[in-house]
């Protein structure tokens, strides 16, 4: 399986009502689970800096990772950037 990093910047409007944001986050999670069954969620982190959230996922289907990213954008009211990641040791071996 390939590893992907999804970086998200949450729209300020999404945080207007914290309870609504929590419901929206659950909706996004459930929608991705149902519509992207080949995406395995490894972990999520709230971060400081340019992005608000870092999600680490694995999948053999890059199209489903793209779809998960689009679900986050459309339903999670976030801007996203997705990148494929390689383990450092594998990168070094390829040199």
Architecture of domain 2-94: 2-Layer Sandwich (3.30)
Asked if 47 and 67 count as a contact pair (C-beta separation under 8 A), the reply is no
Tell me the per-residue pLDDT of 40-81, one tens digit each, with 9 for 90 and over: 999 999 999 999 999 999 999 999 999 999 999 998 789 999
Q: Where are the domains of the chain?
A: 2-94
Strand order through the sheet with 2-10: 40-46, 53-59, 2-10, 78-85
pLDDT at 15: 80
Q: Is 32 exposed, middle or buried (0-12, 13-18, 19+ CB in 10 A)?
A: buried
Report residue 24: phi and psi, to 5°. Answer: -60, -40
Q: Is the pLDDT of residue 85 over 90?
A: yes
For helices 62-76 and 18-35, the axis angle rounded to 10 degrees is 160
* SS3 state at 28: helix
pTM of the shown model: 0.90
């Amino acid at each position: 399986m390939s590893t992907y990093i999804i970086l998200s910047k949450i729209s300020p409007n999404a945080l207007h009502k914290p309870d609504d944001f929590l419901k929206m986050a659950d909706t996004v999670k459930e929608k991705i689970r149902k519509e992207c069954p080949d995406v395995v969620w490894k972990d999520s982190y709230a971060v400081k800096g340019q992005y608000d959230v870092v999600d680490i996922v694995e999948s053999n289907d890059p199209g489903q990772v793209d779809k998960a990213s689009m679900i986050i954008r459309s339903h999670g009211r976030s801007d996203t950037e997705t990148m494929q990641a390689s383990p450092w040791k594998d990168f070094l071996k390829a040199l």
